[in-house]
A and B are shown apart, each in its own frame.
Chain A
Amino acid sequence: MFTIGDPLIILAQQLINGLILGSIYGLIAIGYTMVYGIIGMINFAHGEIYMISSYLFAIFLALVGLFGVSSVPVALLITLVVTLVITGLYGFSVERIAYRPLRGSSRLAPLISAIGMSLVLQNFVLLSQGANTQIFPSIYEGVLRWSMGSKDNFVQITYIQAMIIGVTVVSMIALNILINHTPLGRACRATQQDRTMANLMGINTDRVISLTFVIGAAMAAVAGMLITFNFKSFDFFIGFVAGIKAFTAAVLGGIGSIPGAMLGGIILGLAESLFAGLVNTDYKDVFAFGLLVTVLVFRPTGILGQPEVEKI
């Protein structure tokens, strides 16, 4: 890492770190925001889905290795596809088991069920995989450095961090095409606007809701794989804090809006990194939660959100 160096270098480095952290938050936040947009509830189990995807990624990479696939890109590609599919299936199952039977009940019921589901997923992984921190192998090591003046003053970005930004951009483009330019996406948007009406127009809204959960879980899986790649360690508890942070990002950007989720994620990531780098590392989570409360009090609709009009 950078050693000495003037504040400007530290600032630049923290901005890069924040951007990477923010991309991850943004990817997870998409799951929250899409689900909230369509059925108006917080999927508390979403953070755990992200955690499970980390495990799936490491497990399948090891499995592919055991089957004798020696080429790293091929192994990664296979693992990527399998992890995406299975994580999507987790999202689907969570919705089927815990949320669908509760549609149309009181507001509190799906929330409590969601918290229960999050406890279940967390402890399910804890019991099957153990509590110890898992180590992920190092692949694609290397850094890009920009020296500033002297040799010791530099800003760096690892290959993996560059990849995180690249993959995030690609997934956002893919999601954008899916939502705005396909019949499936049109059904999604119609359901978000008015579920009853969409149903009357012949859209299978149950299927759209399932699809939303699958897309959200897939995005969380992308985030989970990237973060595993980057930090090379994970445990069963990573979903909890990541979940709250990503929710903060979704609220910050305006819940219900997909570009807002990404924007909120990046803003939160930058703010948190700057706070950690320039003020205090111990209280960075406190800062993030404080930001959440501030946004909810002063601008509950977030940056890009539509004001919610309550009809009586």
Chain B
Amino acid sequence: MEIDFIIFNIPVIILEQGALAAGFLASLFYIRALDLRAYGEMIKDAAIVGAIAMVLFVPIVGLVLKDRSLVFQIERSLMLVGAVAVGRLHISGAVRARVGIRILWRLALVGISETFAFFFFPEPQRNLIVLVVLVVLAIVFALEALLRSGEKLDSIGSKIMGAWPAVISRAKGRQGYLMFFLVGLLVLLPFEPFINSENPFITDYHLGTLTQTLIYILLAMGLNIVVGLAGLLDLGFVAFYAVGAYGYALITLHLGEFGIGFWWALPITASLAAFAGCMLGFPVLRMHGDYLAIVTLGFGEIIRILLVNMIDFTNGPNGMSAPRPTLMGLEFTRRAKEGGVPLHEYFDIPYDATYRYVFIYLVALALALAAIFVFRRLREMPIGRAWEALREDETASKALGINHTTVKLSAFTLGAAFAGVGGVLFAANEGFISPSSFTFVESAIILSIVVLGGMGSITGVIIAAAILTLLPELFRDLQQYRMLGFGLAMVFIMIWRPGGLIKVRRRAFVRRDSARGASNPALGEAD
């Protein structure tokens, strides 16, 4: 999707100038609030960080190897060094400042990032960066308001956010309606091109992207079981995704003549992936955190190498084609394969390629909703409690009689089954799969969705999946910075907000209604 930059330019300029002014204002407040020594310390800190950054960045960023010689881009590296030093200044400022001023400091960051982007990037990307920073800041603000709604704030910030708690509590009472409305909207969304057929807002490409987002939600729910609930860091999750995708392609290729299509392949492949998960689970039962992470990483690589090298079976690096799904035996192609009936002929309507996208989207939506439902139920079930107990303290949970073998294996198995379903959907959506789709990067993306969303959380993971898959689509020019951004986000989320965007609150037994003297304790609400 292209953004019209000329329209965006003016508000962006106004915003960045406003942000700079706000930052300036903040620093005035700030000097008054601090004694000079603290100010000096901040500058000293920033200077040291800047010096280290200079040594680190000038060689790699500033001197680019090309044909055994060097291309000098010193200016670029110095900009980066400057940005790091200023960023450090801001962080120490924000840490020391009061909440209200902190918000102004953040606005100043927008100004700084704009100045930085101005020198560092060419015209279109420049505005995009400011836009991304603004979007991220808006999300941070909204979440902060959400999370702090109960706390009393002592500054300007509280007055701005004062209106939030009422909105939130009103929304909470109507959560059911809200969910119903949202799901309804998502179901109706793909039919927009048929109603508005002259100038559809939603294209096939959009539907494909949204389907991919739903697949990521499904995958993230699976990994959320393993990492979020059971606390087992699985870095080879993509292996099960690959098993799902290749399982689907192979099953329909070899067993297609017996009438095994998409719908039969779905449970078969899910069980295959679950079996693979169980197989991986056995050797790693006794390992804890770090060993487990590296073994699963190795497992993911093994699967990928096998896919590349078993050319007779998987067609090696050239990949395989995967058939499209069917609806009750009806196909979504213009002309059916022998024996098949295309959908548009059956219903006697004109052929439209969009039908297929709509159908896969709806299937993915249904499966993603099912995954969310299953995850929700699992979390409440005894097995879910056992996973969480195991995550918190393995020894104590063993002492309480939890069989850690079955509990760990079930986490791996169920998580892998989710990934298997995701793999089938991926193959059906793309129509073509190759080993290059199943590298470690894919595992890292799914992991960062879970980590950013909040381990064990549902809402957070959905939001994170939407942000991490749709944002790079919106800002295609910045796509090359995507993995860098994911990595930075993983580091800083762990440092500043280890619970993720939406932290799962610990459940506790609370009396729901003490006034009536009812003694039945009810579970406190989670996310």
What range describes how many residues of B lie at the interface? 35 or more
Which residues from A are CB-within-8-Å of B55? Answer: 86, 89
Contact present for A123 and B490 (CB under 8 Å): no
- Whether the pair B70, A42 counts as a contact (CB closer than 8 A) is no
Residues 272-306 of chain B: 1 if any A CB is under 8 Å from the residue's CB, otherwise 0? Answer: 00000000000110111111011101110110011
Partner of A119, one of B61, B305, B486: B486
* Chain B nearest CB, measured from A75 CB (Å): 14
**CB-CB contacts below 8 Å: A142-185 with B:** none
With contact pairs A42-B294, A112-B490, A112-B494 given, residues A290 and B302 touching in the complex (Cβ less than 8 Å): yes
- The winner among B63, B290, B451, B484 for most chain A CB atoms within 10 A is B290
Known: A112-B233, A127-B481. A240 touches B63 (CB 8 A): no
Is A310 an interface residue, CB under 8 A from the partner? Answer: yes
Chain A interfacial residues counted at CB < 8 A: 69
Does the CB pair B60–A125 fall under 8 Å? yes
Residues of A within 8 A of B299 (CB): 289, 293
Known A-B contacts A86-B55, A134-B65; A127 and B480 likewise in contact (beta carbons under 8 Å): yes
Contact with B along A32-59 (1 / 0, CB 8 A): 0000100011101000000010011011
Q: Say yes or no for A17: interface residue by CB 8 A criterion.
A: no
Contact of B286 among A63, A66, A300 (CB under 8 A): A300
User: Is the CB–CB distance between B483 and A119 below 8 Å?
Assistant: yes
Cβ contacts under 8 Å, A286 to chain B: 302, 305-306
Residues from chain A with a CB closer than 8 A to the CB of B196 are none
A62 interface residue, CB < 8 Å from B? yes
CA distance A253 to B160 in the complex (A): 59
B65/A113 in contact, CB under 8 A: no
- For A63, list chain B residues within 8 Å (CB): 63, 70
Contact bitstring B65-101, A, C-beta under 8 A = 1, else 0: 1011110000000000000000000000000000000
Among B231, B305, B487, B498, find the residue whose CB has the most chain A CB atoms closer than 10 A: B487
Q: Which B residue's beta carbon lies closest to that of A98?
A: B491
> Do A292 and B64 touch (CB < 8 A)?
no
Could you tell me the distance between the alpha carbons of A286 and B302 in the complex, rounded to whole angstroms?
5
Chain A residues with Cβ under 8 A from B233's Cβ?
108, 111-112
Say what secondary structure dominates the interface of chain A: helix
The answer to whether A86 touches B495 (Cβ under 8 A) is: no
Q: Is A1 an interface residue (CB 8 A)?
A: no
* Residue B187 lies at the interface, judged by CB distance under 8 Å to chain A: no
Chain B, residues 43-58, CB within 8 Å of chain A (1/0): the string is: 0000000001001100
State whether the Cβ of A201 lies closer than 8 Å to any Cβ in chain B: no
Question: A16 interface residue, CB < 8 Å from B?
Answer: no
Q: Is A124 an interface residue (CB 8 A)?
A: yes
Q: Does B309 sit within 8 A of A, measured CB to CB?
A: yes
Bound-complex Cα distance A120 to B484 (A): 5
For the complex formed, measure the closest distance between the CB of B430 and the CB atoms of chain A, giving whole angstroms: 23
Q: Are A119 and B484 in contact (CB under 8 A)?
A: yes
Name B65's contact: one of A62, A117, A123, A240 (CB within 8 Å). Answer: A62
When distances are taken between beta carbons in the complex, the residues of chain A under 8 Å from B305 are 282-283, 285-286
Residues of B within 8 A of A112 (CB): 233, 447, 451, 490, 494
Bound CA span A16–B185, Å: 66
- Report yes or no: B59 in contact with A56, Cβ–Cβ below 8 A: yes
A74 at the interface (CB under 8 A from B): no
B164 at the interface (CB under 8 A from A): no
- Minimum CB–CB distance from B250 to chain A (whole Å) comes to 20
Give Cα A90 to B60, complex, Å.
Answer: 11
Q: Which residues 277-303 in A have Cβ within 8 Å of B in the complex?
A: 282-283, 285-286, 289-290, 292-293, 296-297, 300
Q: At the interface, yes or no: B153 with Cβ under 8 Å from chain A?
A: no
Q: Report the bound CA distance from A112 to B498 in whole Å.
A: 10
A115 and B444 contact, Cβ closer than 8 Å, known pairs A90-B56, A107-B289, A286-B306:
yes
Q: Which residues of A contact B227 (CB under 8 A)?
A: 108
Q: In the assembly, what is the distance between CA of A128 and CA of B451, in Å?
A: 27
Report if B28 contacts A (CB, 8 A). Answer: no
Residues of A within 8 A of B395 (CB): 310, 312
Q: Is B235 an interface residue (CB 8 A)?
A: yes
Q: Are B283 and A293 in contact (CB under 8 A)?
A: yes
A90, B55: Cα distance in complex, Å: 9
- Whether A101 contacts B495 by the Cβ 8 Å rule is yes
Closest to B448 in A: A116
- B489 at the A interface (CB under 8 A): yes
Least distance between A244 CB and chain B CB atoms (Å):
6
Q: How far is the CA of A26 from the CA of B65 in the complex (A)?
A: 28
Q: A108-B289, A109-B498, A120-B491 are in contact. List 9 more A-B contacts (CB 8 A).
A: A59-B60, A59-B65, A86-B55, A101-B495, A110-B494, A113-B494, A117-B487, A120-B487, A125-B60
| 10 A-B pairs in the complex with CB atoms less than 8 angstroms apart | A59-B63, A60-B59, A108-B289, A116-B490, A129-B64, A130-B64, A282-B305, A292-B295, A293-B283, A300-B286
**Lowest 10 CB-CB distances: which A-B pairs, in order?**
A116-B490, A119-B487, A289-B298, A120-B487, A123-B484, A116-B491, A113-B494, A42-B290, A128-B61, A116-B487
Residues of A within 8 A of B (CB): 36, 40-42, 44, 52, 55-56, 58-60, 62-63, 66, 86, 89-90, 93, 97-98, 101-102, 105-113, 115-125, 127-130, 134-137, 240-241, 244, 247-248, 251, 282-283, 285-286, 289-290, 292-293, 296-297, 300, 310, 312
